[in-house]
Amino acid sequence: MKISDVARHAGVSPSTVSYVLSGKRSISDETRRRVLESVRTLGYRPHAGARALASSRSNVIALVVPLRSGIHVPVVMQMAIAAVTTARSYDHDVLLLTQDEGVGGLERVAGTALVDAIIVMDVELHDVRLPVLRSLGRPSVLIGFPADPTGLTCIDFDFEAAGAACAEHLADLGHREIALIGAPPAVYERGTGFAERTKTGFQRAAADRGVRALVRPCDPQDARSTATELLRDHPGLTGIVIHNEPTMEPLLTAFRAAGRRVPDDLSVIAIAPDELAERLGLTSIAIPADDVGAQAVSLLMTKLEGHEVPGATLLPPRLVIRSSTPEIPGT
């Protein structure tokens, strides 16, 4: 089943069929109708390889997903799914690459023309892939911000604004001493950026409001001790932001065990998926993983079409108030 079969069936030339299908030249309604009819009855599907060879466009984009610890898997998956769905709406497919293919993987898929463009998730501050991406000659979009984003297109959730929004909300409610319990230390050390940015926003906003602010990284297995020590050493602490999904429940349990009730004695905000926050009844800011994934693809498609896009895109946080941060906090 090839394009010449369709052409014969419709009584036109192969090029006409191609033009009907691509819309790159005007075709009379009558001819178009006949061709499409033939395509349908014959069940014709253009051969992807042939198309890629002739047009030098594969209609496939690469998505590089992270593997490492400290990243939250469901969020990654959600971005990936959103990316696939969005790519499909632009008539593109998604090739899945893992982080550990590294620079070679990028060179390979770009060099063989397997993909037209690339999305890289979980970018580090000084990612070794940055120079490659700059010189690859194919459009790319990074999810996350490196130290030097010059010449690159980056998109991410605005963690800094999220950290700030949490601090401001707590300040608005009258809290004078607040804490951020963040990602595991490893994440900070790796310099992935997002953990650092939440912290920055949190501290800046707290300072602006004259509120005392503490920040603690936290490993999942240390949840209990982190909570206990924090509350013991800072008895005036009344507001807590948790940006660390797996430790969410252990921390809440530990607060209770330490004799502090949420929300009576302690107001809590989660930076976590809505589903989890909803279940726990926590005021929260969700990472809009769907939006990040979808917009990353949209940016990429815009670049593929040869248009300019902003170098940086930050998706604003949205605070959803639940019962863990009541209007009048206890103390």
Partner DNA sequence: GATCGCCGTCGAAGCGCTTCGACATTCCCC
Partner DNA sequence: GGGGAATGTCGAAGCGCTTCGACGGCGATC
- Asked whether the beta carbons of 60 and 94 are under 8 A apart, the reply is yes
Minimum separation from the CB atom of position 32 to DNA (A): 7
Q: In 3D, which of 269, 223, 267 has the Cα closest to residue 246?
A: 223
In the list 8, 9, 51, 234, the residue contacting DNA (rule: CB under 7 A) is: 51
224 belongs to the binding site for DNA (CB under 7 A): no
11 belongs to the binding site for a second copy (CB under 8 A): no
Neighbours of 330 (CB within 10 A): 13
Neighbours of 311 (CB within 10 A): 12
Neighbours of 116 (CB within 10 A): 22
Cα dist from 66 to 99, 220, 229, whole Å: 5, 20, 33
312 belongs to the binding site for a second copy (CB under 8 A): no
Draw the binding track, 23-42, toward DNA (x: CB under 7 A; -: no contact). Answer: -xxxxx-xxx----------
Sign of the alpha-carbon torsion through 228, 232, 233, 235: positive
257 belongs to the binding site for a second copy (CB under 8 A): no
Minimum separation from the CB atom of position 203 to a second copy (A): 30
Alpha helix positions (H), 90-184 = 102-111, 129-135, 159-172
CA distance 114 to 60: 7
Draw the binding track, 87-106, toward a second copy (x: CB under 8 A; -: no contact). Answer: -x----xxxxxx-xx-----
Return the residues of window 54-83 that contact DNA according to CB under 7 A: 54-56
Draw the binding track, 12-51, toward a second copy (x: CB under 8 A; -: no contact). Answer: -------------------------------x-xxxxxxx
Out of a second copy, DNA, none, what residue 16 binds, judged by CB under 5 to 8 A for its kind, is: DNA
Phi, psi of 238 (to 5 degrees): -130, -10
18 belongs to the binding site for DNA (CB under 7 A): yes
In the list 37, 40, 41, 53, the residue contacting DNA (rule: CB under 7 A) is: 53
Pick 74 or 330: Cβ nearer a second copy: 74
Out of DNA, a second copy, none, what residue 140 binds, judged by CB under 5 to 8 A for its kind, is: none
Sign of the alpha-carbon torsion through 64, 65, 68, 72: positive
Residue 175 neighbours by CB under 8 Å, 6+ apart: 211, 238, 239, 267, 329
In the list 36, 52, 136, 214, the residue contacting a second copy (rule: CB under 8 A) is: 52
Pick 87 or 237: Cβ nearer a second copy: 87
Query: Which parts of this chain interact with a second copy (CB under 8 A)?
Result: 43, 45-53, 56, 58, 60, 63, 65, 67, 73-74, 76-77, 80-81, 84-85, 88, 93-98, 100-101, 108-109, 111-114, 220-221, 249-250, 253, 279
